Structure 1
Amino acid sequence: MAEFIKDVDFGVMESNLLKYDGGEIFLSKEYFEEGIAIIYLNHPRKRNAISGKMMVDFRRCLNELEEWKEGKSVLLCGLGSNFCSGGDLDFARSAGTPKEGYYMSCIMQDILKRFRGLPLITVSLLHGPTLGGGAEISIFSDYILVADNAQIGFVQGNMGLITAFGGTTRLVQLIGERKAMEMLLTSKVYSAEECISISLADKIVNTSSKMEEALNFIKQFIVHDCTIIHNYKRVLAFGLSNNFEKSLDVERDLFYPTWGSELNRNALAKHIRHITK
């Protein structure tokens, strides 16, 4: 085993990645009062390609979101003409050693695993070319919206690579082994309609009104108190892991403290009635 693999020190990894500058990933709090955060990818000169510095930015956004107790949802999207065109090729050429590849993979898998584990409703909004590492990032959300001009492709094979961020593992969860194999091994770039047809995406939105439509899509899932959303997300995560017994335990342990709680009593007093004919 290579020496650099023995210890995973994210501080060291971040310091290394920060050498590869360009672009930013930032957290917008414009809709915080509604329980919605927006993570923007912004690297216009490279069509939102991911640099080392952007990976560190993304991780810092996650640090803040994990502490957001009143949060309900996160929208992940790109500024400008597209979501993310993949990894920054200048970064890839400059950081072309196995050690730096290992650091990049560790950091991005940590980010996306934590993003997937947020107790919030997560939505990716894809528009324009969403390729390579950008496609990997996009599929870790609960829901995927595609603008009518979106193009999604796992094109890593064309560069003599496989997925680095966990994209293959997540893709199998979403569309199954055979469809995932086809998508990965052909490096085909899929249209918005094709993404719907293989169940990779959930809805097509209009390019000109994509942000408004995405926010409206999110709002249907955040009508309940944040406690309800957080608890459901936790149980669903265990259910997805196929650990049935553990999932039952988690569901019970999250339920019983809410029985008779102020939230429960207020709902019973204001909303819930038996329906009779």
Structure 2
Amino acid sequence: MFMQNTLTRLMRLPLISIALIQGWALGGGAEFTTACDFRLMTKESNIRFVHKEIGIVPSWGGATRLVEIIGSRQALKVLTGALKLDSQKALNLRMVEEVLQSSDETQCLEEAKEWLKQFIDGPPEVIRALKKSVTAGKELCFEEALQVERDLLGTLWGGPANIEAIARRGKYCK
């Protein structure tokens, strides 16, 4: 229960999270990757939910999140087959967003940071609000998620990021 709660809290953090897979992500490691918003891996890396092989099921929320990431049929194949997902299979299943070119630990980390920039470039309060909005859309009923969106807009409308963005846009709209 502890790891289930921990990974759920990670998933709900109001920031963008990324799992950088270098080498093997087995069992609990595979489950951990599902709690992150994005997954990147090196060419030589593998993901494998080995739970069946040791007579258990994922219990950290990995199966539930895997269904959300790749769909129920593919998740069933991955889990019941204890399939080894190399980088190409993981990419084809949309388990990972990208396969990094470098395998060098330092270069790989820099490549991942560069990839992540496109999603975190902007006012932090806006990025946090967008993450909260997506999380609400995943976890809440439709009407409640809409209310979260309205509430979040209320915290940003007329704020510094909004005013600065409108001022910048005005220059380009003429």
For the aligned pair, the TM-score class normalised by the smaller chain equals over 0.9
How many residue pairs get matched? 170
Shift of 1:155: 0.7
**Matched residue, 1:261:** 159
- Evaluate the alpha carbon distance shift between residue 257 and residue 136 of structure 1 in structure 2; reply closer, same or farther with a 3 A threshold: closer
Q: Is the 8 A contact 2:126 2:156 kept in 1?
A: no
**Structure 2 residue corresponding to 1:200, chosen from 95, 116, 119:** 95
Measure the CA separation in 2 of the matches of 1:262 and 1:166.
Answer: 38
TM-score after normalising by structure 2: 0.93
**Structure 2 residue corresponding to 1:144, chosen from 39, 52, 59:** 39
Measure the CA separation in 1 of the matches of 2:118 and 2:152.
Answer: 23
**Matched residue, 2:125:** 227
TM-score after normalising by structure 1: 0.59
Shift of 1:185: 0.5
**Structure 1 residue corresponding to 2:115, chosen from 217, 224, 249:** 217
Measure the CA separation in 2 of the matches of 1:267 and 1:129.
Answer: 43
How far does the alpha carbon of each residue in 1:113-150 deviate from its partner, in whole angstroms, 9 at most, with x for none?
00000000010000111111110011111110011111
How far does the alpha carbon of each residue in 1:68-98 deviate from its partner, in whole angstroms, 9 at most, with x for none?
xxxxxxxxxxxxxxxxxxxxxxxxxxxxxxx
Larger C-alpha radius of gyration, 1 or 2? Answer: 1
Report the identity percentage.
33
Answer 1 or 2: higher relative contact order, Cα 8 Å, separation at least 6.
2
How far does the alpha carbon of each residue in 1:166-195 deviate from its partner, in whole angstroms, 9 at most, with x for none?
110000000011000000001121110000
3-state SS of paired residue (2:85): strand
How far does the alpha carbon of each residue in 1:36-79 deviate from its partner, in whole angstroms, 9 at most, with x for none?
xxxxxxxxxxxxxxxxxxxxxxxxxxxxxxxxxxxxxxxxxxxx
**Matched residue, 2:169:** 272
Q: Report the structure, 1 or 2, having the larger helix content.
A: 2
Measure the CA separation in 1 of the matches of 2:33 and 2:155.
Answer: 35
Q: Structure 1 residue runs of 4+, over 4 Å off? A: none
Q: Is the 8 A contact 2:49 2:78 kept in 1?
A: yes
Measure the CA separation in 1 of the matches of 2:92 and 2:155.
Answer: 42
**Matched residue, 1:117:** 12
Measure the CA separation in 1 of the matches of 2:17 and 2:119.
Answer: 10
Shift of 1:253: 1.0
RMSD: 1.3
Q: Which runs of 5+ in 2 are unaligned?
A: none
**Matched residue, 1:159:** 54
